[in-house]
Structure 1
Amino acid sequence: MKQSKSFLELPHLSSFGVFLVWICLYSSHAQLHPNSMEMQAFETASVLSEIEFATVSDYRGPGNNDTRKNKELPIILWWSTSLFPHFPGDRERIDCANFSCMVTNNRKVQLHKRTKSIIFYGTDFRAYEVPLPRLPHQTWALFHEESPMNNFILSHLPGIRMFNYTATFRRESNYPLTLQWLPSLDYLTNPAAPVHEKNQWRLEGFAPVLYMQSHCDVPSDRDRYVQELMKYIQIDSFGKCLNNKDLPNSRLEDTSTATMEDSEFMNFITRYKFHLAMENGICSDYMTEKLWRPLHVGSVPVYRGSPTVRDWMPNNYSIILIDDFPSPKHLAEYLIFLDQNDDEYLKYLEFKSPGGIKNSILVESLEKREWGVNDMSKPNYLNGFECYVCDQENERMLLERAHKNSPTTVPSPQVHIASHSHMGCPQPTPGFGNVNEITENDSWLSMWPQDYWQSLDQAEGLEAMILKNETDPGRLWNYIQDIVTKTGSHH
């Protein structure tokens, strides 16, 4: 079938270049594993669960001078119906900074000529329901603020470059959500418990280090590291992972209490000098409540997660990075030293003093972001991103019209294609030790490295589908099998 020209086509691109910009379908092998989607105690999967949506139904945007009637506006389709940030109904007019759009979660408009962009939620996306073939007049937008483990296909270049606009935790994305778990600077300067009280709790039997996880066997393999660290320092471990101690009452064991900022739960955490804050996935700028909550209560985070985390910290102390130490034994020795030296320990809490936040990047990023966290005076980032897409699409329509009217003097609109830096998370590696030293029946080894590379198989299969103008997304596995047969092996 002959394919009509698309705004995604660039006249100067080689055949491989056209191949790149026509990638427009993905699924996640991780979604086939129930464990990867498990919601358990002490593991909040997404900050979305904490956003108040009760008041967003009448959100219209900042307003503009767009006088067009609704039937003249471009349509933005939310493909993930469960994430549609408007209620009630399935459609809404939004009046954004520069232009207006109609937004809907009704898939019946997928083929409409006015439907200019489709927004996908990375975690919910399913290969078998992707709109194929990709229509030449539509852009694709990705909203994915969750862990990289939820959809590893986005960590591969063939997976991410099918999108034109992105809102991810990476600062390089079009609409960054990097500080999604940090409400404000005031959140960080919340007073910490006095060190003499923490010393008293130590005398009463509290360990210097807290670990609280019930989501085990995750890509970062954090439990393997903690298990080795336990050989050298006392750690109170609550939850199902490496459990060695019970919480003081049954109320604190409740999942909703443990994952929300319940006052009793937060007061319990603040008794510990150190909090093992380890993300379930490793990726630049992926930082969750596991980091910000210990900073809030004044339990120094012992952190592993984003390799770029220092860029966002209040000052040069604030946290202790696990990867700064050659081994768990060396880390334990340093924590023991701090536990026994109050003056040295208190350096990690100086950011809570007036003027203690020295990081201009952190301050400016919080000041400049247009969305708020549980702040009803600002849009939440779902509404913010759809307005970003709306304004981008209206601009594109104007440029296309101008180019059509004056093709020799007005260039065609620039094509936006997401790059690897918009997600680009690395292959999972063991939390401690060498992968060659892990036994073959190890649960982590049997799941996550394979999941990561199988997602690349899927991405390449999807590329092949698009090149052949495939209309049935259910044939994905046939395409993958063809690729495997030709290459002789999986990745």
Structure 2
Amino acid sequence: MPSQPSKWSHQRTIIFGCIVLCFPVILYVYYKPDIKLPSFNISSMIGPQPCPKCLQPQELHPNCSNREQRNDTQKIQVAAVNNEPDTILLIWFWPFGFKFGDSCSDYNITRCRLTDDRSLYNKAHGILFHHRDIHSVSNLPKEPRPWFQKWVWFNMESPANSGQIPELNHLINLTCSYRLDSHIPVQYGYLVPRTSKQETFKLPAKDKLVCWIVSNWGGHQRRVQFYNEFKKHITVNCYGAGCNHRISNEEYTTIMQSCKFYLSFENSVYKDYVTEKLYAPLIHGAVPVVLGPPRENYEHLVPADSFIHIDDFPNPKELAEKLLYLTNTMTSI
């Protein structure tokens, strides 16, 4: 899901709050300097990196861990880290170039320091690299990596929208992504219990049956193929660049609130890849009709009866018939 500025601004607090909250704990769990673990794989356990096997000892990569090389320089590094009261997380690239709050206090978290000051490289406990901004290893740090430091690979896009960079295989210690098996899993949204002091949710007035707001449009996408057949059997109010009907942020909210059902169709289908497309309609009082990973994957995130999955129906026609039936028989929606 290629992020746009408006979408990213809504997600940044959740995403970075989770990162800065989880990183000190993860660092403690995986801080075992004598361990050698396998190369980069999003589903594997990754620790301090061995040097690439293709390199001879005299050609050691400057960002490899090698305990035999530890010397007085390392002792100085240890002393500097021990004197640092906070966990330092250095953001090497701001995601998509959009900078926002760089203080841990912005996320109500203490004993940490979130910074983009690269002069702190040798003190930083962790370096956060946003995958979509790496492009090649040439814009990664040139200085040798301190032996205590973890490099964190961060990506909230699906594999379909994330080009591979093979050179990262021997450089990454920890993963941070939407995948639930990441070392630092970060979701696009979450549910919290309603307190007794909060007002009861009032369902907005509805004058549209089915809506879809879409910008990323491709004939190869499963969601576009499904939509083209689905709209033959039911009226769909389609907005966004994909439907040649651009809207503002204010219009987005108004449209979402006016719909009974919303097509929460992901642009690509991968395990755990469930974005704000699921949570936005729930916030605004529409029922999400989801296209993405299997139903079981969604049920790990929200109640099973809070959404409709297209896989529950053999074809788009029967889904359309079900939505028409629901809107004609259930006054509550």
- What is the TM-score with the length of structure 2 in the denominator? 0.61
Task: Name the structure 1 match of 2:226.
Answer: 225
TM-aligned CA deviation for residue 51 of structure 1: 6.9
Asked if 2 retains the 8 angstrom alpha-carbon contact of 1:46 and 1:146, the reply is no
Residue identity matched to 2:7: T
Task: Name the structure 2 match of 1:407.
Answer: none
Asked if 1 retains the 8 angstrom alpha-carbon contact of 2:261 and 2:287, the reply is yes
162, 176, 181: which is aligned to 2:185?
176
TM-aligned CA deviation for residue 148 of structure 1: 4.4
Query: 3-state DSSP class of the match of 2:306?
Result: coil
Q: Distance in 1 between matches of 2:285 and 2:314?
A: 26
Q: Distance in 2 between matches of 1:294 and 1:281?
A: 19
Residue identity matched to 1:182: Y
Q: Distance in 1 between matches of 2:160 and 2:229?
A: 24
Closer, same or farther in 2 for the Cα pair 1:173/1:135, shift >3 Å?
Answer: same
Task: Name the structure 2 match of 1:241.
Answer: 242
177, 191, 201: which is aligned to 1:190?
201
Closer, same or farther in 2 for the Cα pair 1:330/1:129, shift >3 Å?
Answer: same
- Aligned sequence identity (%): 28
Q: Distance in 1 between matches of 2:114 and 2:306?
A: 42
Give yes or no for the alignment of 1:130 onto 2:158: no
Give yes or no for the alignment of 1:310 onto 2:299: yes
Residue identity matched to 1:278: F
Task: Name the structure 1 match of 2:7.
Answer: 44
Asked if 1 retains the 8 angstrom alpha-carbon contact of 2:260 and 2:287, the reply is yes
TM-aligned CA deviation for residue 303 of structure 1: 0.6
**Between 124-133 and 299-308, the greater mean CA deviation after superposition:** 124-133
Q: Which has the higher contact order (CA 8 A, sep 6+)?
A: 1
TM-aligned CA deviation for residue 107 of structure 1: 3.1
Closer, same or farther in 2 for the Cα pair 1:189/1:126, shift >3 Å?
Answer: farther
Task: Name the structure 2 match of 1:279.
Answer: 266
Q: Distance in 1 between matches of 2:177 and 2:15?
A: 20
Q: Distance in 2 between matches of 1:185 and 1:290?
A: 21
Q: How does 1:22-421 map to 2 (within 5 A)?
A: 37=2, 39=4, 44-45=7-8, 47-48=10-11, 72-73=83-84, 76-81=89-94, 85-86=101-102, 96=111, 104-110=115-121, 112=122, 114-127=123-136, 128-131=138-141, 135=145, 137=147, 138-153=149-164, 162-178=171-187, 180-182=188-190, 184-186=192-194, 190-193=201-204, 198=206, 201=207, 206=208, 208-217=209-218, 220-243=221-244, 253-254=247-248, 256-258=249-251, 265-307=252-294, 308-314=297-303, 316-342=304-330, 346=332
Query: 3-state DSSP class of the match of 2:233?
Result: coil
Residue identity matched to 2:330: D
TM-aligned CA deviation for residue 291 of structure 1: 1.2
The runs of 5 or more residues in structure 1 that have no matched partner are: 1-35, 54-60, 62-67, 88-93, 248-252, 259-264, 350-491
Query: 3-state DSSP class of the match of 2:175?
Result: strand
TM-aligned CA deviation for residue 49 of structure 1: 5.0
Closer, same or farther in 2 for the Cα pair 1:285/1:145, shift >3 Å?
Answer: same
**RMSD over equivalenced CA pairs, Å:** 4.1
Residue identity matched to 1:289: E
Larger C-alpha radius of gyration, 1 or 2?
1
Q: Distance in 2 between matches of 1:44 and 1:320?
A: 23
Residue identity matched to 1:176: P
The runs of 5 or more residues in structure 2 that have no matched partner are: 17-23, 25-78, 104-108
Residue identity matched to 2:4: M
- Looking at secondary structure, tell me which structure has more strand per residue: 2
